């Protein structure tokens, strides 16, 4: 029994030793693989389509053509006729101020409407008339439209139309019924209150066509396109604006904004800004990820080396209405095409090459570098005309190999191992 136990113990010890050796080998292999990955993560890259940007993130001040409109009765409170962000035509009513006794007058009109409806309901003979039937159908249709409508401006129009139809119906009833004098008296009284209500209200019109906004902050005459020459870093920073803060809605005034273009002024010290020129085209990426074209219209240099750029935008104007100071991406250039790591490109005699790997067979391929970023480049093959301009012979052009999508190329290639040139 004791011999049997010793024998089993010896076998178990051997198993432990074998397993330990295997684990040690596996651990050594893993350490070696990790070392190779750290030393050189990969030496082959598969070419794919990609996009390359040269961009920077900046803070910008939104500048636009905008005209503030304000009436005499601004203390009475206002009712928007054209909603925030919608367009208005020149001389179109955009909002109105309430009349002094508006609540009281509306209450009296509502009471009269109830009395008029009751008086008409008492006369059942009127409902059989063709004119009355037509008016009732029109009223029912307008009520249906109101139930479906979500636009506040159109809702007001529908409501006014219903009021007009009800008044017309009451007038017909007053002329035809024995209670005519009573109904006519109610209608005339309602008409007086309505006239008083309308005459007491002040309507404000758009001085120009554009986007209506009620976000008035007092900077409309300060940040304007008329004084770009006065812009400076000190001036912009003295405005003490919070980045990304939404301008609060004003309940006393509105404004109309030119919807064709606006500007963004930004302070930057990038090398691209120092080399930029008026008239250069760039792109701007806004907080909603929309990329829009922009033109550099003004460049001002600061004593400390900073540059003030003014960018003109003709798109996404509505997106910027809510803000005075924003964060955005200034895209100096972008390029699409075959995207490869910079480490895959080698230069010889002012020409650029990549080394293609096909089943272990390495070829040095001449490529044209369209755009180069910090880590990647967009490359392409040369055309026949371009090769001729570079001085290549007809035979060399005929044997020219082009780079293609999904080709495998070497990272940090060793040109001494290239088997074909």
CA dihedral (155, 156, 160, 161) in degrees, to 10, reads -30
Per-residue pLDDT of the chain (421 residues; tens, 9 = 90+): 555 555 565 666 666 676 777 778 877 777 765 654 554 445 899 999 999 999 999 999 999 999 999 988 888 888 899 999 999 999 999 998 887 666 666 666 676 677 667 666 655 544 445 555 565 666 666 666 665 555 555 656 666 666 665 666 555 555 555 555 666 666 766 776 666 566 557 889 999 999 999 999 999 999 999 888 889 999 999 999 999 999 999 989 999 999 999 999 999 999 999 999 999 999 999 999 999 999 999 999 999 999 999 999 999 999 999 999 999 999 999 999 999 999 999 998 899 999 999 888 888 999 999 999 889 999 999 999 999 999 999 999 999 999 999 999 999 987 777 765 4
Residue 323 is given by DSSP the state B
Q: Give the architecture-level CATH label for domain 338-417.
A: Beta Barrel (2.40)
pTM: 0.67
Question: What H or E segment, with its residue span, contains residue 30?
Answer: helix 2-39
Q: Phi/psi of residue 21, each to 5°?
A: -65, -45
Q: How many CA atoms lie within 13 A of 208 on its CB side?
A: 12
Contact 156, 230 (CB under 8 A): no
Chain CA centroid to CA 147, Å: 32
Class of 57-64+222-243+259-334 in CATH: mainly beta
Domain boundaries, the chain: 57-64+222-243+259-334, 99-200, 338-417
């Amino acid at each position: 029994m004791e011999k049997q136990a010793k024998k089993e113990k010896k076998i178990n010890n051997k198993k432990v030793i074998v397993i330990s050796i295997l684990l040690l080998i596996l651990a050594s292999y893993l350490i070696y693989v990790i070392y190779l990955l750290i030393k050189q993560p990969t030496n082959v890259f598969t070419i794919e389509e990609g996009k390359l940007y040269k961009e920077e993130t900046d803070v910008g001040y939104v500048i636009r053509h905008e005209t503030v409109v304000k009436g005499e009765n601004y203390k009475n409170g206002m009712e928007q006729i054209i909603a925030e962000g919608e367009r208005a035509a020149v001389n179109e009513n955009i909002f109105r101020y309430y009349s002094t006794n508006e609540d009281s007058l509306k209450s009296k009109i509502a009471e009269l409407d109830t009395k008029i409806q009751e008086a008409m309901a008492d006369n059942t003979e009127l409902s059989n008339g063709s004119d009355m039937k037509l008016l009732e159908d029109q009223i029912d249709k307008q009520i249906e439209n109101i139930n479906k409508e979500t636009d506040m401006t159109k809702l007001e129009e529908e409501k006014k139309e219903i009021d007009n139809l009800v008044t017309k119906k009451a007038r017909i009833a007053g002329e035809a019924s024995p209670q005519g004098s009573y109904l006519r008296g109610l209608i005339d009284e309602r008409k007086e209150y309505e006239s008083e209500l309308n005459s007491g209200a002040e309507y404000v019109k758009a001085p120009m066509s554009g986007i209506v906004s009620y976000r008035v902050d007092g900077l409309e005459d300060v940040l304007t396109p008329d004084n770009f020459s006065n812009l400076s870093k000190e001036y912009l920073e003295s405005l003490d604006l919070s980045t990304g803060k939404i301008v609060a809605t004003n309940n006393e005034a509105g404004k109309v904004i030119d919807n064709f273009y606006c500007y963004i002024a930004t302070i930057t010290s990038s090398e691209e800004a120092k080399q930029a020129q008026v008239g250069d085209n760039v792109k701007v990426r806004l907080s909603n990820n929309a990329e829009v074209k922009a033109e550099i219209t003004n460049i001002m240099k600061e004593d400390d080396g900073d540059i003030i750029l003014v960018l003109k935008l003709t798109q996404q104007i509505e997106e910027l209405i809510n803000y005075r100071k924003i964060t955005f991406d200034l895209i100096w250039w972008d390029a699409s095409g075959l995207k490869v790591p910079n480490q895959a490109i080698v230069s010889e005699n002012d020409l650029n090459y990549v080394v293609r790997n096909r089943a272990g067979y390495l070829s040095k391929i001449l490529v044209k570098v369209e755009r180069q970023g910090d880590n990647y480049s967009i490359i392409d093959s040369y055309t026949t005309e371009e090769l001729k301009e570079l001085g290549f012979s007809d035979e060399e052009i005929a044997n020219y190999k082009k780079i293609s999508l999904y080709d495998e190329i070497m990272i940090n290639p060793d040109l001494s191992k290239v088997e074909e040139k």
